[in-house]
């Protein structure tokens, strides 16, 4: 190409020179004092093959060095990072963003048309600071946010993407650097994994991107928030609000769905309960905030509140869905009411005590008394032990059996 750095210096004035790169928070790293190495016209853009100013830096400790891969003109056309080529607003691949926002790609791909398109794009970029009209950078601001993008978007940087590559010598068992090796000593992933084969041009043009296909499959299996059958429930549970969340911030966001009756914040549990006046307003709020609401860089958890009127029926177990099941057999049953308890703890037969108590419920258990045998017993009546009388039950415990101590019952003489 005529604008290529390797061919000649024709059109050198159109080569790109910049003072700072266009980067996402993940690629920039968490170090606020990052130091960059700048090289004017250091390499060619991987998309338009024009020389541009490259930047190289280390995003953090134990991370690999990163550098810019495409020029700023190509990055502005798609509103992407110059290094990872992910969307700057949502942190998602271009293919996912374009499908969610219904953006049609009209960027030229052939060499001749690409050069003409880039020249016109630079003129439009110099005239405005809001991107190129009709490109992804421009409509990205004018298009309304998509529910799919709000669900898939990252709320915090993902710094694991900056980890060093895997040491190939360690995989073969030949690395002699040990802890001083700047590469990772980990087992590589499956070579048949589609994520192991990524192309920078496919990522930029939004075609055959394995990362985008993985996210689209995940979007198809996202959970849904179904409204409860009880129409009296108008309360939403809001979790992960943090310790510094104010009631005014919640009210300013949830009031757009309907009139709010009350907002209760539980700071210890880091949650809140938003109660609406009508059920329709609560349903609109649940649909509009489930897996989408982000306040203070925190993705809030939205759930339906539970009914306070329903209570468990004795002998059954209530689940969150409201279904009732019989108790599992074999488990201990519930303790009986104190009034249902009988004060016969040893299962003794009812007997009459010679010393009645004015408080029968607190009286100690009674035991049979020793008495002489009745006079003139019937010849057919069996002989009772000496310590039992008629009308009393038999032996309850082995220790009450006199035969264990050697006692012998003698037949009475008539």
User: pLDDT band at residue 132, thresholds of 50, 70 and 90?
Assistant: very low
**Sheet harboring 260-266: ordered strands across?**
260-266, 271-276, 235-239, 301-304
Predicted pLDDT at 276: 93
Predicted pLDDT at 316: 46
The helix (H) or strand (E) run that includes residue 272 is: strand 271-276
Is pLDDT of 335 > 70?
Answer: no
Predicted pLDDT at 365: 56
Is pLDDT of 282 > 80?
Answer: yes
Compute the average pLDDT of residues 100-124: 78
Domains of the chain are 14-222 (no CATH), 235-304 (3.30.70.330)
Query: Rounded to the nearest 5 degrees, what angle is found at the Cα of 28, between the Cα atoms of 27 and 32?
Result: 155
Give the predicted TM-score (pTM) of the model: 0.57
Is pLDDT of 399 > 60?
Answer: yes
Predicted pLDDT at 299: 84
Which among 116, 117, 98, 97 has a CA at the least distance from the CA of 107?
Answer: 117
Higher pLDDT, 226 or 133: 226
Predicted pLDDT at 269: 87
User: pLDDT band at residue 307, thresholds of 50, 70 and 90?
Assistant: confident
Is pLDDT of 357 > 60?
Answer: no
Q: What percent of the chain stands above pLDDT 70?
A: 66
- In the numeric block, which tokens belong to residue 315? 């002998």
Compute the average pLDDT of residues 134-142: 45
Beta-bridge partners for 262: 275
Is pLDDT of 351 > 60?
Answer: no
Cα 182 to Cα 394: distance, rounded to the nearest angstrom: 88
Highest-confidence segment of 36-40, 149-153, 354-358: 36-40
Per-residue model confidence as pLDDT tens digits over 39-88: 998 899 998 888 999 999 999 988 999 999 999 988 998 999 999 999 99
Lowest mean pLDDT among 4-18, 113-127, 220-234, 367-381: 367-381
Lowest mean pLDDT among 69-78, 192-201, 282-291, 314-323: 314-323
Is pLDDT of 147 > 90?
Answer: no
User: pLDDT band at residue 155, thresholds of 50, 70 and 90?
Assistant: confident
Predicted pLDDT at 219: 80
Per-residue model confidence as pLDDT tens digits over 176-202: 998 899 999 998 877 777 777 788 988
Which among 139, 105, 110, 133 has a CA at the least distance from the CA of 121?
Answer: 133
- In the numeric block, which tokens belong to residue 379? 């010849």
Compute the average pLDDT of residues 288-299: 84
User: pLDDT band at residue 128, thresholds of 50, 70 and 90?
Assistant: low
Q: What percent of the chain stands above pLDDT 90?
A: 26
308-347 per-residue burial string, b: 16 or more CB within 10 A, e: under 16: eeeeeeeeeeeeeeeeeeeeeeeeeeeeeeeeeeeeeeee
Is pLDDT of 94 > 60?
Answer: yes
Higher pLDDT, 252 or 8: 252
Predicted pLDDT at 414: 46
Predicted pLDDT at 175: 93
- In the numeric block, which tokens belong to residue 36? 């960059």
User: What is the 3-state secondary structure of 74-89?
Assistant: HHHHHCECCCCCCECC
SS3 (DSSP) at 123 = helix
Q: Where are the beta strands (DSSP E) in 277-402?
A: 294-295, 298-299, 301-304, 317-318, 324-325
SS3 (DSSP) at 233 = coil
Radius of gyration over every alpha carbon of the chain, rounded to an integer in angstroms: 41
Predicted pLDDT at 1: 43
Higher pLDDT, 243 or 183: 183
Among positive and negative, which fits the CA dihedral 42, 43, 44, 45? negative
User: pLDDT band at residue 225, thresholds of 50, 70 and 90?
Assistant: confident
Give Cβ neighbours of residue 356 (< 8 Å, ≥ 6 apart). none
Burial class of 180 by CB neighbour count within 10 A (0 to 12, 13 to 18, 19+)? exposed
Ranges of H-type helices in 4-70: 25-28
Mean pLDDT of the chain: 76
Predicted pLDDT at 361: 55
Lowest mean pLDDT among 107-121, 266-280, 337-351: 337-351
Compute the average pLDDT of residues 152-169: 89
Higher pLDDT, 46 or 219: 46
């Amino acid at each position: 190409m005529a604008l290529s750095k390797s061919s000649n210096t024709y059109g050198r004035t159109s080569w790109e020179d910049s003072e700072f790169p266009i980067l996402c928070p993940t690629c920039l790293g968490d170090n606020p004092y990052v130091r960059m190495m700048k090289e004017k016209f250091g390499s060619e853009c991987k998309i338009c093959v024009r020389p541009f100013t490259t930047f190289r830096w280390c995003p953090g400790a134990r991370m690999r060095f990163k550098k810019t891969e495409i020029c700023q003109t190509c990055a502005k056309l798609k509103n992407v990072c110059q290094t990872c080529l992910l969307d700057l607003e949502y942190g998602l691949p271009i293919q996912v963003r374009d499908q969610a926002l219904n953006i049609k790609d009209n960027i030229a791909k052939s060499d001749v048309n690409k050069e003409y398109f880039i020249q016109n794009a630079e003129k439009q970029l110099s005239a405005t600071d809001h991107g190129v009209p009709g490109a992804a950078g421009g409509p990205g601001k004018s298009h309304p946010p998509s529910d799919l993008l709000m669900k898939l978007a990252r709320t915090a940087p993902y710094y694991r993407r900056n980890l060093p590559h895997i040491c190939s010598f360690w995989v073969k068992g030949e690395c002699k650097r040990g802890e001083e090796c700047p590469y990772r000593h980990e087992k590589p992933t499956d070579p048949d994994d589609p994520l192991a084969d990524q192309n920078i041009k496919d990522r930029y043009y939004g075609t055959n991107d394995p990362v985008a296909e993985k996210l689209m499959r995940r979007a198809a299996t996202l959970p849904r928030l179904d409204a409860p059958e009880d129409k009296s429930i108008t309360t939403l549970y809001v979790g992960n609000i943090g310790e510094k969340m104010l009631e005014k911030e919640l009210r300013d966001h949830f009031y757009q769905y309907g009139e709010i009756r009350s907002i209760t914040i539980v700071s210890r549990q880091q949650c809140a309960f938003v109660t609406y006046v009508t059920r329709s307003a609560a349903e609109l709020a649940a649909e509009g905030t489930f897996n989408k609401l982000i306040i203070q860089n925190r993705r809030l958890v939205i759930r339906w509140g539970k009914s306070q009127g329903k209570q468990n029926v004795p002998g059954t177990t209530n689940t969150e869905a409201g279904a009732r099941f019989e108790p599992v057999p074999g488990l201990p049953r519930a303790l009986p009411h104190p009034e249902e308890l009988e004060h016969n703890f040893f299962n003794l037969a009812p007997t009459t005590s010679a010393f009645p108590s004015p408080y029968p419920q607190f009286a100690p258990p009674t035991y049979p008394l020793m008495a002489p045998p009745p006079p003139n017993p019937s010849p057919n009546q069996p002989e009772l032990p000496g310590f039992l009388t008629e009308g009393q039950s038999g032996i309850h415990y082995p220790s009450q059996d006199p035969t264990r101590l050697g006692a012998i019952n003698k037949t009475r003489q008539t």
